[in-house]
Amino acid sequence: MSNVEQTLSIIKPDAVERNLENNIKEMFKNNGFSILKEKKIQIEKSEAEKFYKVHETKPFYNDLCAYLSSGPIIVMVLEKSNAVLANRELMGATNPIDAEEGTIRKKYGISIDKNSVHGSDSIENAKIEINFFFED
């Protein structure tokens, strides 16, 4: 049985600002991900609030939404077998200080906010998040 899945990845403002787009894409490709769709955009804070609605009760919600809308981001649809989990493993822990060697956040993350990448946390959320940025 094929477990090919799609997941949403975002290269966040801190990484775009440091010109890490190609380095991070290479890490995805070297780990067997295909980038099916991608676009560079800057979103409004109100859009970030919708995207991160699941976090709306958290104390960091306002800063998180201000941050995601603070500069250009790259949004991508990644595909691979078990892509949701594989992407979470490749990204590493949310806080770069806890991330393992070889992960994107260990290599490039600056702080829990400026952690360079976002990835969907479940197959269900991957569908919602892909549709959010790439509805056709």
What Å distances lie between residue 48 and 1, 15, 36, 54, CA to CA? 36, 17, 23, 11
Minimum distance from residue 43 beta carbon to ligand CMP (Å): 13
> How many positions of this chain bind ligand CMP (CB under 6 A)?
8
Where do the DSSP E strands lie in 49-122?
73-81, 117-119
Question: Which residues have a catalytic role annotated?
Answer: 118
Q: Which two tokens stand for residue 86?
A: 């594989």
- Out of 112, 123, 132, 134, point to the residue binding ligand CMP (CB under 6 A): 112
Q: Check binding of 16 to ligand CMP (CB under 6 A).
A: no
Task: Please report, to the nearest 10 degrees, the dihedral formed by the alpha carbons of residues 73, 37, 104, 33 taken in order.
Answer: 180
Rounded-to-integer distance, Cα 66 and Cα 35, Å: 27
Where do the DSSP E strands lie in 4-68?
4-11, 34-41
Q: Check binding of 7 to ligand CMP (CB under 6 A).
A: no
Residue type, 40: K
Using Cβ positions, the residue closest to ligand CMP within the complex turns out to be 118
Q: Which stretch binds ligand CMP (CB under 6 A): 24-32, 43-51, 73-81, 112-120?
A: 112-120
Which residues from 78-107 bind ligand CMP, rule CB under 6 A?
Answer: 94
Q: Check binding of 113 to ligand CMP (CB under 6 A).
A: yes
Query: What are residue 88's phi and psi, to 5 degrees?
Result: -65, -40
* Closer to ligand CMP by Cβ: residue 40 or 55: 55
Q: Check binding of 8 to ligand CMP (CB under 6 A).
A: no
Interface residues with ligand CMP (CB under 6 A)? Answer: 55, 60, 64, 94, 112-113, 115, 118
